[in-house]
Amino acid sequence: EIVLTQSPGTLSLSPGERATLSCRASQSVSSNSLTWYQQKPGQAPRLLIYGASTRATGIPDRFSGSGSGTDFTLTISRLEPEDFAVYYCQQYGSSPLFGPGTKVDIK
C-alpha cells in the first residue's frame, strides 16, 4: 500500500518569495499518476497540476510541477497573495490517495 508524505507541514513565506513543496511516495509511482490541488478556506479543492507537470486549464505559469519515481515537487515561483492556501498531492494506483497537505501561510 502506497503512502504519500508531504513536507513541510507548514511553509511560512512572504509574497514574492518562491515556494517549494514536496510530495514523497513510499514506493515508486508513475509520474502520470501524480496530481496537485490547491484548497483555500471554505472552498473545494482546485485542480492545479496533473501528470506531475502539466498545468490544468487556467492555472498561472508561476505554478510548476516536477519529479519522478518517489519524489515530486510543486513550485510556486513568486507567491501572490491568493496563493496562500493548503496544497495536496494525490496519486492513483488501484485507488485514489491524497497526501496530508502542506499549508502555505504568510510570514
Partner 1 sequence: QVQLQESGPGLVKPSETLSLTCTVSGGSISSYYWSWIRQPPGKGLEWIGYIYYSGSTNYNPSLKSRVTIPVDTSKNQFSLKLSSVTAADTAVYYCARFWFGELSGINWFDPWGQGTLVTVSS
Dihedral angle sign, alpha carbons of residues 22, 26, 28, 30: negative
What's the distance, Cα to Cα, between the start and end of the chain in Å?
36
Applying CB under 8 A, the span of 14-22, 62-70, 71-79, 97-105 interacting with partner 1 comes to 97-105
- The binding track of 34-53 with respect to partner 1, each residue x by CB under 8 A or -, is -x-x-x---xxxxx--xx--
Neighbours of 106 (CB within 10 A): 11
Q: How far is the CB of 105 from partner 1 (least distance, A)?
A: 14
Q: Which is nearer to partner 1, 37 or 63 (CB)?
A: 37
Q: How far is the CB of 74 from partner 1 (least distance, A)?
A: 14
The pairing of strands 102-106 and 10-13 is: parallel
Q: What is the CA radius of gyration of the chain?
A: 13
Q: Which three cell numbers stand for residue 96?
A: 485514489
* Interface with partner 1 (CB under 8 A): 30, 32-33, 35, 37, 39, 43-47, 50-51, 54, 56, 88, 90, 92, 95-101
